[in-house]
Amino acid sequence: MTKKMKKSELRQFEKRLIEERKKLLKELEYEGEQIAKTQLETSGDLSAYSNHMADQGTETERREVTSQILSSRSEALSEIDMALQKINHDKYGFCENCYKAIGKRRLKFIPQARLCIKCSNELKR
């Protein structure tokens, strides 16, 4: 393994991850409320205009988009959780694929990055 990060640097990343986590949780909460509202509206709509196919289509689409947003948010959340665990276990900042240190510039951009730039580009292909 390559050289480890300084404790002070680690703390900075930890702080950023915790802040990011809070933000995501808030957004998830908000979107959950929006979905609950939409579902209430939809059930109201359905009784008012039964068999309105066009409306149902857009509604399904809208719900799909919302659930996609939600799942990408919860994915990001679990990645942040994993990164925080790695900080606790002194394994933060290393690529999960090649075990080399992930560049600090990359970590500053994506603190929850699990792969180094090289591996992430290779695995995308």
Q: Which of 36, 65, 98, 110 binds Zn ion (CB under 5 A)?
A: 98
- What is the rounded distance in angstroms from the CA atom of residue 54 to the CA atom of residue 16? 44
Q: Which stretch binds Zn ion (CB under 5 A): 22-30, 46-54, 78-86, 113-121?
A: 113-121
CA 125, CA 111: separation in Å to the nearest integer?
A: 22
Question: What is the rounded CA–CA span in Å between residue 88 and residue 101?
Answer: 17
116 binds Zn ion per the rule CB under 5 A: yes
Q: Minimum distance from CB of 102 to Zn ion (Å)?
A: 7
| Number of chain residues interacting with Zn ion (CB under 5 A) | 5
Q: Which is nearer to Zn ion, 59 or 103 (CB)?
A: 103
Q: Does 110 sit near Zn ion (CB under 5 A)?
A: no
